[in-house]
Amino acid sequence: NIRPAKTYDGLHSPVKPFDLVVVRENTEGFYADRNMEQGSGEILVTPDVAISLRRITRHCCERIAQTAFELAQSRNKHLSIVHKANVLKIADGMFIEVCREVGKKFPEVRIDDFIVDAMAALLVRDPAQFDVIVTTNMFGDILSDEAAGLVGGLGMAPGLCIGDGDVVMAQATHGSAPDIAGKGIANPYSMIESTRMMFDWLGHSKKIPEAIAMARAMSEATTVALANPNARTGDINGKGNTASMAKAVLDALK
C-alpha cells in the first residue's frame, strides 16, 4: 500500500515543505481479517477477555521491503524502517532483519530505523527529514494519516494498493465519509491523485509512454488547481467545493 504525502503552496501546512511516501504492508499484521485461513484473528475468550493475534511472515516482509527499496532508489535514496522492536522483539525484530537484508542489494540507499512512537513525534516536528518510510500494517495506517494531516487532512491522502502480477487498486485512504455525502464539499484530490498513481504504475510496469505522460499531466494539473483558493475545497483553506476543484483540474489538464 503506497501512501504519499507532500505539501503544496498555499495550503498553509504547519511544517516546512516535505515530500514523503509511506510504504505500508497491507496483507497481515494487526488486522484480524488478514491473519487466518479461516476465522478471525480476534478471539473473545470470556466476556471480559479479548485476544488479538498478529501474523508477521518473512515472505511479506521481503516483498514490502523490496518495494520500498526500489522506490527509495528511484527517489532520494533514503529509507526509514519503522517498528516497535523494543517491545515486539520477535515479530518486529524479524521485520527489521529482513528489511536490512534486502537493503544489501541497494548499497546506495541510506537506511535508518525508528521506533513508531518516536517516528510519530518526529513527523510532527520535521517531516522533511524523511523520504520513504516502510512499516507494518497498522503502523503504516496511522503514520500515513498523520502525514496527511500535516498536508491538510484526509482529503489529501491518496493511495495505491499493488498486488502480485498485474493487480493494482487505486484507493484513497479516507474511506467513504458518509457524513458529508451529497453536500458537494468533499475534497476530490485524494481520488484524483490515486488515479494518477495508477496511470504512473501502468506506464512504468507495462512500458506505456502515454500512461506516463498522463500521470505527469495530472500531477501538473492538480498542482495548478490547488494553487487557486477559489477552486480548492474548504478543508484546505479554499473557497470552492468538489465541483470547482474537479473543474480546475480538468481545465488545467486540457
Just list the catalytic residues.
31, 84, 117, 141, 145
Q: CA-CA distance, 207 to 110, in Å (whole number)?
A: 28
Q: Of 75, 190, 88, which is closest to residue 139 (Cα–Cα)?
A: 88
148 sits in which H/E element: helix 137-151
Q: CA-CA distance, 103 to 97, in Å (whole number)?
A: 10
Tell me how crowded residue 119 is: count the other CB atoms within 10 A of its CB: 22
Q: CA-CA distance, 66 to 49, in Å (whole number)?
A: 38
For residue 85, how many C-alpha atoms fall within 13 Å in the half-sphere facing its CB?
14
